[in-house]
Amino acid sequence: MELSLASAKPSPRAAPLLFAPLKPLPLLRFPPRRPPASAASAARLRCRRGMRLLCCAGAASGEEVFGPRRELTGVQPLVDALPPAARTAAELAVAAAAVAAGYGIGLRAGGGSRAVAVAGFVVVSGGGGGGGRLGWGTRRRYGVSTQDAAFKAELSDLYARFLYSVLPPGDEDLKGDEVQTIIKFKNALGLDDVDAANMHMEIGRRIYRERLETRDRDADMEQRRAFQKLIYVSNLVFGDASTFLLPWKRLFGVTDSQIDIAMRENAKILYASQLKSIGRGLDIGTLIEVRRAQLAYKLSDEIAAEMFREHAKKLVQENISSAVDIIKSRAKAANSQTQVVEEVKSILAFNSLLTTLSKHPDQDRFVRGLGPISLGGESDHDRRADDLKLLYRAYATEVLSDGRLDDEKLAPLNQLRNIFGLGKREAESIMSDVKAQVYRKRLAKSFNSELAAAPSKAAFLQNICEELQFDPELASKMHEDIYRQKLQQFVADGELNKDEVEALMAFQVRLCIPQETVDAVHSEICGRLFEKVVVEAISSVDGYDTNRRQAVRKAAQGLNLKKEAVMTIFSKVVRKLFLNYIQRAKTAGNRIETAKELKKMISFNTIVVSELLADIKGEPTTAEAQTSNATSEPEISESEGDDDEYEWEQLETLRKTRPDKELKEKLAKSSQKEITLKNDLPLRDRAELYETYLVFCVTGETTNVSFGTAISTKKDNSEYLMLKQLGDILGLTRKEAQDVHIKMAEKAFVQQAEVILADGKLTEAKADQLAKIQKQVGLPTEYAQKIIKNITTTKLSSAIEASISRGQIGIQQVRGLKEANFQLDSLIAEPLRENIYRKSVEEIFSSGTGEFDEEEVYVKIPADLIINAEKAKSIVQDIAKVRLDNSLVQAVALLRQKKKDEVVSSLNDLLACDAAVPASKHLSWPTPGELDDLYGIYMKSIPKPEKLSRLEYLLGISDEKAAQIRDAASAGTLSVATEEDELVF
């Protein structure tokens, strides 16, 4: 971190200091910086000799700090020639006299020589007096007063020059002894902290001015670092008093964080130099001394601990780099593996010592950061992960070299894993590989000796796994790999002899390999060789000749494969070729080309596949196979000729797929039925392919001739036999093939029947025409009638739906259709049936009779329309609730129009709605008189008493009012009647 000085200027509103700001003194003429090497040498020289020797040393050293040496005059040469003891006394006297004289005559011009005299006086008094300071006794003896301003200025000038010379340049680091040197010099001068602090601030001003005068970026950075070192050294010199003696923030505008950075970075540099003294031995005395240095440098424990951990990691990384270089070296020595292991052991010993010291009773006195090391989380850990894995593998190999693993060996392995920062899975993977190598070595060593002689091979192998802590499942996998390698080695020549079979059996027994695993390995390895032979035999340009046949038989018998494995491999190859034919058939341009590709597949199955299968199974071919098939097929047809299929025997296309004896004799070869595509293609695709070839058999091959015409080539019944073979290849059962024939016959009949019944009317002439078509396609009568009925029903359904939308069909017409045995659920959609029901209910509520038959509405009509009873009841209630209020409104409107008969009808509709959904309260109306008139008119129509009573409740008419209306009606004094007479007049 860098300390910014860009805003180094006093604040305009700064509070007054505890002491007066120091003004630049003309005496403070600092010597120029020497080159870095000379300055460092001079600083080390001053630290070693002290101020007494500094004053009496050669001229070069004194001139560097306090200016050039003046020539001796008067008695000075005599004093200079005196012995040391006598010269000391003379120097004191001369110094006192010089200072006193200087006060009197004002020797400002000779500041350099005066500084030398005062410095010599101070150091000599400190060395001769034994106190190390310019004490009161010395000052009184020579008549010097420290309160004199000129004398204090001289001392301050000396202190500033000395301080400036002790501080290293910006491009050099602190050595660590600067603070104590400065403190000793300050104490020797007897300079108080305030005056000394002013000199520190004056030096800060000088560095600040030098930064402002420079235009070089590097020089600017050097001044920044010099200022940081000044802050650090000054704060340590004055300790806690630096907070008020050194106003960095006030005079230079630096912040607390910048001061903290300066303190921290310089302390880290000094502490890093101390850490270099700590090696892998971890001497306790060194650890204590480094801890003391940390406290003296004012470095926090957190940073010190982190720096120590980084130092420890560097030591470990040195061992790692050395070990990796040995591993990757091309010219490896004989003991290279030993050297690598020694480096790793050194890492483990160092880590163990760190762990032990972290638990020491006096750990508070030791350096901070003691504890186990871990390289995990480092920035370059991923880059170095491969190297760390190599070292871990090398050490694990050395640990397991004796073939045993116990807890004592596991502890350092786990410790090394933590040091390298390896994940648990990574370490387990490496250990598993190492264990596998060691296990394989022990297995090879004991295979023909201890393992062969062991009474229990499994117990012997289990013991090795337990000693090595090796997973038995991984061991079983290794046994399988060993057996696999041996088998590959033995079958390199294409067959297995007797000795090789016995050797493989020995491996199987001694390694306890299950028979299922052995069979699987044989099927995989030997199967590839056998598959190669079969493919060559099938794809041979010369055809399936004698040489190919012998090669196939040799491979089938010489590779020691089981019959099931041979058949599985052969089936896999053949089915792959079948699928190639199918793919080409699907991508063909038209139906004829598709049928041709399928025909090629059928021929390939008959000519090649069937012969190959016979050779593999060791069965007779062609003629013998034909004889056996001829004797066995009638039995199959009898067993498969169920009653369910008898009705379809009149289908001509189905009969032709079952050729007679004469047709079979025309065919030279029979086809195999064991290898099919039943599990490779879905039933839908297989049925479509079968149907495509069936259409080809029926229509024949079309040949284009001139003038845009085409001629259909007639096919004989042999095409239908190939259709039967195609069904066998596709894996279709007899029932599935039969369904394809039925589907085709139905499709042909439907196409022609739809044309004949286009108007939906079935006449006698049309029935005769459909009967002829039925006979031609061989469709049973029941199926033909079903198709005819579906067509007519569909046509009729369209007409009925149109009539319903026009309102021409009601419940009576529906009942007529039902009596005519029409299926209403297929003839009329459910929404349309619900509309018919809704219309019938509305007719009941608007009939004007006032009758509501619940059985008719809730039971009979829903049953006729095939509607759910609950749903029908919900429809009725919805309609009744709406029409109840509407009927009252309509009755009042008709009352106002003086239409008494229609008023009575509306009131009857109101009563019908109430019967469906009984009202729980009176009907409301703003004019009660109109309700009375409605009641009077309805009463005069002489209704049933129960209806009149219910209307009285609905209209909210009391018994007294009803009696008055009845009396008025009997007397002929009703207002409605009077008004009517007046209107007639």
User: Which pair of structure tokens corresponds to residue 180?
Assistant: 């104590």
Task: Give me 504's structure tokens.
Answer: 């493989």
Out of 516-525, 537-546, 608-617, give the one with best mean pLDDT.
516-525
Report how far residue 934's alpha carbon sits from residue 817's, in angstroms, rounded to the nearest whole number. Answer: 43
Conformational region of residue 785, where left means phi above 0, alpha means psi within -120 to 50, and beta covers everything else: alpha
**pLDDT given at position 95:** 44
Nearest CA to 859 out of 848, 850, 870 is that of 870
Q: Report d(CA 856, CA 812) in Å as an integer.
A: 13
Alpha helices in 20-75 (DSSP H): 36-56, 59-66
Residues of the chain above pLDDT 70, percent: 73
Per residue in 138-174, pLDDT (tens digit) is 555 555 666 778 888 888 899 999 999 999 887 888 9
Are 157 and 27 in contact by the 8 Å Cβ rule? The answer is: yes
Give the per-residue SS3 of 407-472. Answer: HHHHHHHHHHHHHHCCCHHHHHHHHHHHHHHHHHHHHHHHCCCHHHHCCCHHHHHHHHHHHHCCCH
Q: How confident is the model at residue 666 (pLDDT cuts 50, 70, 90)?
A: very low
Residue 77 — very low, low, confident or very high, per pLDDT cuts 50/70/90? Answer: low
**98-102, 434-438, 801-805, 932-936: range with highest mean pLDDT:** 434-438
Q: What is the pLDDT of residue 180?
A: 92
In the prediction, which pLDDT does 656 show?
Answer: 55
Burial of 578 by CB count in 10 Å (0-12 exposed, 13-18 middle, 19+ buried)? buried
Reported as a single tens digit per residue, the pLDDT across 576-612 is 889 999 999 988 878 888 888 888 888 888 888 888 8
Question: Amino acid letter at 189?
Answer: L
For the chain, give every domain's residue range: 36-254, 569-634+643-732, 764-871, 878-984
Model confidence at 105, in pLDDT bands (50, 70, 90)?
very low
Spatial separation of the C-alpha atoms in residues 770 and 905, rounded to whole Å: 56
Please tell me the distance from the alpha carbon of residue 750 to that of residue 320, in angstroms, as a whole number. 88
Just give the CATH number of 878-984. Answer: 1.25.40
Distances (CA, A) of 135 to 102, 132, 180: 21, 8, 20
**Cβ contacts of 366 within 8 Å, gap of 6 or more:** 284, 287, 288, 291, 357, 360
The model's pLDDT over 419-457, given as tens digits with 9 standing for 90+, comes to: 988 889 999 999 999 999 999 998 888 888 888 888 998
The one-letter amino acid code at 871 reads: K
Q: Which two three-digit tokens encode residue 701?
A: 């091959």
- Per-residue pLDDT, averaged over 622-645, amounts to 45
